[in-house]
């Protein structure tokens, strides 16, 4: 579970652990949060693993270490991501380049590298499940965060390519595309006047819970969801229809 120490990632970790699965919680900087989450989970054998997702070698060591600690690897959830604001009209050219490199390096290339490494532990070992956490922003646009929107669109397309490539090896690949989600990272904004406008984007007049996203991820990682391989599941409360 990349980006597993907080927010959507932590909800997904809890959901898998509640089913009796052992999980590896990836983090980059939040070691204390990852350790606390690991220690709070039911069952045993859970591990916390660190890597900078923009560092290809660190990703390889992290995935291999997780597989060794867990005794194999059945599911990879690509959730780690960065969300950097950068306007095409403001800032320097160097800042523009930096935002693109940092965002794509984690959100897209990091996920691609984690997938490559995870497949080595799935193909020929009974297959597996890969679930990518994308975004509604891949479809409706992210004018203040263009690299983020592009990275998530790329992640959806990457997942569909992998769904075709890996099906003969018993590996399914699917994606979820959440809209706005209530987490510790979004709580402050949701508590302001902007929160009312954000909730009003959906006819349900609310945002998603992290647990709702986690439930979809768990389903797509299940044996029953094999025929959903290649799908991109919208989870935005009808706030954006396509």
Strand partners, 177: 234
Residue 175 CB: number of other CB atoms within 10 A? 28
Q: What separation in angstroms does the CA of 200 have from each of 110, 115, 205? A: 33, 36, 5
How far apart are the C-alpha atoms of 150 and 152, rounded to whole Å? Answer: 5
Active site residue 240: no
Report the candidate in 54, 48, 52 with the shortest Cα–Cα distance to residue 13: 48
Distance CA 63, CA 70 (A): 11
CB 16 within 8 A of CB 44: no
Distance (Å) of CA 107 to CA 2, 12, 206: 11, 18, 26
Could you tell me the sign of the dihedral formed by the alpha carbons of 87, 88, 94, 100, in that order? positive
CA–CA separation, 128 and 172 (whole Å): 7
Closest CA to 221 of 131, 157, 161: 131
Q: Which of 93, 148, 219, 240 is catalytic?
A: 148
Q: Show which residues are catalytic.
A: 148
């Amino acid at each position: 579970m990349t980006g597993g120490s907080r927010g959507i990632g932590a909800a997904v970790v809890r959901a898998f652990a509640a089913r009796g699965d052992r999980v590896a919680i990836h983090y980059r900087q939040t070691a204390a949060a990852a350790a606390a989450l690991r220690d709070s989970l039911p069952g045993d054998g859970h591990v916390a693993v660190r890597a900078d997702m923009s560092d290809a070698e660190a990703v390889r060591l992290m995935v291999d270490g997780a597989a060794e600690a867990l005794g194999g690897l059945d599911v990879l959830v690509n959730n780690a991501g960065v969300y950097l604001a950068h306007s095409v009209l403001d800032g320097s050219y160097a800042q523009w380049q930096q935002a693109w490199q940092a965002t794509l390096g984690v959100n897209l290339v990091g996920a691609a590298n984690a997938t490559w490494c995870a497949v080595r532990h799935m193909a020929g070992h009974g297959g597996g499940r890969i679930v990518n956490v994308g975004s509604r922003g891949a479809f409706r646009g992210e004018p203040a965060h263009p690299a983020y929107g592009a990275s998530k669109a790329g992640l959806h397309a990457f997942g569909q390519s992998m769904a075709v490539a890996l099906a003969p090896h018993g590996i399914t690949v699917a994606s979820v595309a959440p809209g706005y989600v209530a987490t510790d990272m979004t709580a402050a904004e949701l508590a302001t006047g902007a929160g009312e406008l954000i909730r009003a984007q959906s006819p349900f007049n609310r945002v998603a819970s992290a647990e709702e996203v986690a439930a979809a991820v768990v389903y797509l990682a299940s044996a029953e969801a094999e025929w959903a391989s290649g799908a991109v599941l919208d989870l935005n409360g009808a706030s954006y229809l396509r």
